[in-house]
Amino acid sequence: MRPDVLILVVDSLRADRVLGDDRSCRTPNLDRFRESAAAFTKAFSVASTTTPCTASILSGTYPFVHGVHSLAGRPLRVDLPTLPELFKASGYYTWAEMTGPLEAVTGLDRGFDEYRCRPYTQWLDTSFGDELIARLKSAPRPWFGYVHLWEVHYPRRVTPEFNRSAYGETLYDRSVSSLDSQLARLLAAVGDDTVVVFTADHGEYLSRSKKNELVTRLKGPAAWAKRNVPGVKKLRRRLMPLLFKGLRPGTPTDSDGYRAWLGHGFHVFEVLVHVPLLVRAPSVFPSGAEVRPMTSHVDLFPTLASALELDSFLPFHPNGLDLTDLVRNGGEPAREAVYLQASGARRMNRPEQWLAGLRTERYKYARGMHNAELPEELYDLKSDPEEQRNLAADRSDVTTDMRAHLATLMEAGAPVAPAAETAYTPEEEALLEARLRELGYLD
């Protein structure tokens, strides 16, 4: 019998909280799991927003192919094969436990025998955790499961015993420590032969200031008041510039505090797109191995298809690369750059502010996706890992090369003909908007 396969995705989990040495959170269970898995230390999401990231994992294509650019707008194009369809065609029982904005109307349910988008308050330490563990033990075999967790996303979930400085200097770090304790029983519930992919959909911006960290804790009460107290919405718009110096209403800003308030979706900075990627598949990847070349979420589709010998079932060639080849070649770099985009948070309903970008081993480049008037950005990650100095004007030669590389990738990256436009029905749009409003993404 083929092995069961579990993709475990933690919303907003930064790579440095799993792979970094300088961290205040405690993750003994993830550390132990890492010893049994291959760690892809330079793995990147395609975007800093959940829905396009998930669409790329499930389709193996970039957003400019699958058409899901943000939390709303349009569903997954109907002619693209998906990973659950691949597994289902291969005899697997397929199921998904989603949360956040991943409603079935997004089209991400295609190929799943069961697809549930639960309220985000159903965390692993609630009855949902017990139900999930029961499913892991009793689902018809072989199964392919996809689980999306919300514990680290704001509002952070920290169980009482972990709400102490010993488990993290910030609420974010404590939520990671708290989640780690829950992952212990989840990982123990799957068989040793189960292929487990552990990753995040994107990262999170965290303030460097304790003052801004405290202000960020007001997000929850502010969202409640905005929904339930008349006049608070207008008052909030006036107060925000006072809270975060330099804030221009409705536009992204260089303010550290405002970036922390947004959390993610507003840019393609490293902390927003660098994600953990641990793959436990002993027959394919050596346990404890570190794979250092750049990889992308779009690589998971062809990698799982190849590793489980499922690639002959669907005549489709995704944008991603087969990472089993990368390991066989001794870790030699397989690509020059990974694609990135920002189309969430304050940019969600404003395509004129969306960013498209590339990351090479040394440089990060970003430009307006649809708006040529947005300034180009270029960062030298070797000399400026914090991405503080925009060198687009000073290094015009590199900027020109990166601009051309991005254009070539977007033109040549789609192996399939463009599909007819798809759109949400009014009922689907209303359902999705209600969900996004509940999560605080819409006023």
Q: Which amino acid is at 407?
A: A
Report helix angle 171-189 to 127-138, nearest 10.
30
**How many CA atoms does the CB half-sphere of 205 hold within 13 Å?**
25
* CA dist., res. 36 & res. 279, Å (int): 9
Structure confidence at residue 250 (pLDDT)? 42
DSSP per-residue letters across 43-83: EE-SBSSHHHHHHHHHHSS-HHHH---SSSS----TTS--H
* Domain ranges (residues) in the chain: 5-205+268-328, 207-262
What is the residue-level pLDDT of the chain in tens, covering all 443 positions? 799 999 999 999 999 999 988 899 999 999 999 999 999 999 999 999 999 999 999 999 999 999 899 988 889 988 888 999 999 999 999 999 999 999 999 999 999 999 999 999 999 999 999 999 999 999 999 999 999 999 999 989 999 999 999 999 999 999 999 999 999 999 999 988 999 999 999 999 998 777 666 666 666 666 666 666 776 666 655 665 555 554 444 444 577 878 888 889 999 999 999 999 999 998 889 999 999 999 999 999 999 998 998 865 555 667 889 998 887 777 677 789 999 999 986 656 688 889 999 999 999 999 999 888 899 999 999 999 999 999 999 999 999 999 999 999 988 765 555 555 678 899 999 999 899 888 888 76
The C-alpha torsion from 95 through 98 and 103 to 104, rounded to 10°, is: 0
DSSP state of 229: S
3-state helix vs strand vs coil in the chain, percent to 5: 35, 15, 50
Residue bearing tokens 């070349």? 293
End-to-end CA distance of the chain: 50
Please list the residues that pair with 365 across neighbouring strands: 358, 378
Pick the CATH number of 5-205+268-328 from 2.60.120.380, 3.30.200.20, 3.20.20.70, 3.40.720.10: 3.40.720.10
Specify the pLDDT at position 354. Answer: 92
d(CA 346, CA 252): 7
| Cβ atoms of residues 31 and 187 within 8 Å | no
Beta-carbon count within 10 A of 30 CB: 24
pLDDT of residue 219: 67
Instruction: Please give the Cα distance from 269 to 144 (Å, whole number).
Output: 32
What number of other Cβ atoms are within 10 A of residue 184's Cβ?
14
